[in-house]
Amino acid sequence: MIRHRSWCIAFVPVFAGIARADVFSYECNSFPDEAGWEVVNEVCDAEQWLDGGWLFQHVETGCGGPPGGGQFDYTRSLAEFIGEPAFFIEWRIETDGDQSEIDGVAPAALTAGGFGVVLYHFTIAKDQVRFIRDFEPPTLWIDIDPDVPHTYRLELFGEDLYIWYIDGQVIDSGIPGAAYPSSTPSINWRAKAWYLESTTQWDYIRYGTIPEPASGDFDSDDDVDLDDYYFFQDCVTEPNTDAGPGCTWADFDGDSDVDHHDFAAFQVTFTGPTD
Ligand SMILES: [Ca+2]
Ligand SMILES: [Ca+2]
Ligand SMILES: [Ca+2]
């Protein structure tokens, strides 16, 4: 991912806040409880700090464990997105926690569920991810490269389709158990020690309405402004490089990259700094 390319300096990157018309974005520039997340658990002297747009969470065993020890859990309601026909959750994370921790839903996890049949449950370790859907088999185990961040993306299209990506590659897709968000929906994420200590770092967690392709309008609020530009920068690639499923809104000419041609179109579409 190339950022701040020389032709991209026409706008000063500004990011005013987190609340968007149809997207919630936590960019890890502040602590979760300051950014709209509800604290479920912050226990056992777990450490948390911010560095360069990342949230770091260090957890160790103790306080009666192992199993168990330090833990951070956060949640937000997804009720405002009930009935949304095209919904996404995307997050970028790296952890050094061992895959043996996955049995304890550690070292890192993100879930979207509620009181209905639908559950999307991701448990992430240093070099492996476990995906459980709707409390039913099959459970998927995916190997990932260690020591680098990975981008995870879940797309939901009503009752018709779910797609799960890692780094832009489709890992799994199919017909969901039911439309989601539904049935008192919420998103939850955590870092946790089970038998081993670990450090997990989060770059962002974003969710909401999937933006229209080639619209320039990431947050689907019918403008193309500096808020959208913040995310446009994140999509910029070298020419002829696939920008991935999270960037189709920024690919104006539909050739899969987000390059200087797309930036020229973005500038033409630009409606003003902010509304
Ligand atoms: Ca970040
Ligand atoms: Ca917008
Ligand atoms: Ca393009």
* pLDDT tens, residue by residue, 262-275: 999 999 999 988 76
Domain that holds residue 33: 23-209
5 pLDDT band, cuts 50/70/90, is very low
174 pLDDT higher than 70: yes
* Residue whose C-alpha is closest to residue 194's, from 123, 127, 140, 142: 123
How far does residue 14's CA lie from ligand 1's centre (Å)? Answer: 14
Whether residues 158 and 181 fall in one domain: yes
Distance CA 47, CA 70 (A): 8
> Per residue in 60-116, pLDDT tens?
999 999 999 999 999 999 999 999 999 999 999 999 999 999 999 999 999 999 999
Higher-confidence residue: 21 or 238? 238
Question: What percent of the chain stands above pLDDT 70?
Answer: 92
For residues 140 and 27, state if they share a domain.
yes
User: b/e for 116-151, b at 16 or more Cβ within 10 A?
Assistant: bebbbbbbbbbbbbbbbbbeeeeeeebebeeeeebb
> Cα(20) to centroid of ligand 2, in Å?
8
Q: Could you tell me the distance, in angstroms and rounded to a whole number, from the CA of residue 203 to the centre of ligand 3?
A: 25
Ligand 2 centroid from CA 56, angstroms:
29
Are 171 and 262 in a shared domain?
no
Residue 12 has pLDDT above 80, yes or no: no
Residues 87 and 116 grouped into a single domain: yes
Q: Is the pLDDT reported for residue 185 higher than 50? A: yes
Domain ends where: 209, 242, 258? 209
**pLDDT value of residue 154:** 98
Token digits for 274?
């902010």
pLDDT at 18: 42
Say yes or no to pLDDT of 158 above 90: yes
Question: What's the confidence (pLDDT) of residue 124?
Answer: 98
Q: Pick the residue with more confidence: 273 or 199? A: 199
Which of the ligands is closest to the CA of residue 270? 2
Pairing of strands 150-157, 87-95: antiparallel
* 142-151: pLDDT as tens digits: 999 999 999 9
Q: Are 195 and 251 within one domain?
A: no
In a domain, 254, yes or no: yes
Which ligand is closest in space to the CA of residue 21?
Answer: 2
Q: What pLDDT shows up at residue 42?
A: 94
| Residue found under tokens 């199919």 | 174
Does 99 share its domain with 219? no
Residue 275 domain-assigned (yes or no):
no
Are residues 193 and 111 part of one domain?
A: yes
Q: How far is the CA of 165 from the centre of ligand 3 (A)?
A: 20
Q: What is the mean pLDDT of the chain?
A: 92
Ligand 1 is an ion; its neighbours by CB within 5 Å are: 27-28, 53, 203-204
Number of independent structural domains in the chain: 2
Give a yes or no: residue 274 inside a domain: no
CA of 136 to the centre of ligand 2 (A): 38
Asked if pLDDT for residue 20 goes beyond 70, the answer is no
- The rounded Å distance from CA 58 to ligand 1 centre is 17
- Give 4 Cα–ligand 3 centroid separation in angstroms: 17
Q: Are residues 109 and 187 in the same domain?
A: yes
Q: Is the pLDDT of residue 39 over 90?
A: yes
Please check whether residue 71 lies inside any domain of the structure: yes
Q: CA 246 to CA 170: how far, in whole Å?
A: 12
> Which residues 6+ apart lie within 8 Å of 179 measured at CB?
83, 118, 156, 158, 159
Please indicate, yes or no, whether residues 178 and 42 belong to a single structural domain of this protein. yes
- 240 and 199 in a single domain? The answer is no
pLDDT at 36 over 60: yes
Ligand nearest, relative to CA of residue 216 = 2
Same domain, 201 and 220: no
Mean pLDDT of all residues in 188-209: 98
CATH number for 117: 2.60.120.200
pLDDT grade, residue 26 (50/70/90)? very high
Both tokens assigned to 144: 């990932």
108 near 92, Cβ under 8 Å? no
Residue 33, both tokens: 């409880």
**pTM above 0.85?**
yes
- Is there a single domain that holds both residue 10 and residue 138? no
Percent of the chain predicted with pLDDT > 90? 90
Is residue 231 a part of any domain in this protein?
A: yes
Report the pLDDT value the prediction gives residue 272, as an integer from 0 to 100: 84
Shortest-distance ligand to the CA of residue 272: 2
Any domain includes 38: yes
